[in-house]
Amino acid sequence: MNSKENIFQKILSKKVITDIIYQDNLVTAFNDINPQSPVHILIIPNILIKTLNDINNNHEFILGRMLLVASKIAKKKHINKLGYRIVINCNVHGCQTIFHLHMHLLGGRQGIKNFF
């Protein structure tokens, strides 16, 4: 096992097993192991993109798919009507801890109102 692989790469290569909620040729979605809300799902690209700063024009379709999948999962989890939050952290000051681009889908209760 390549020790430089992050946990998401290990999930994608089936070296770490998790319950996959959604997977296609571009993205994979699964429950966060440390949920911050009743619904807390991570959506990741199937290729390594370390941070949001590393995206380019070639990633446009993948990023769109991530948002589309988030919307579909929100409907499936019945959090779409009351609302949900999409979060992407970038680098250390943005609280990114795993350097593989990922989107948090959070819902099931009201979030912090004065977040910004």
Q: How far apart are CA 52 and CA 95, in angstroms?
A: 13
| DSSP states along 65-81 | HHHHHHHHHHHHTT-TT
Residues with catalytic function: 102
Taking only Cα atoms into account, the Rg of the chain, rounded to an integer number of angstroms, comes to: 14
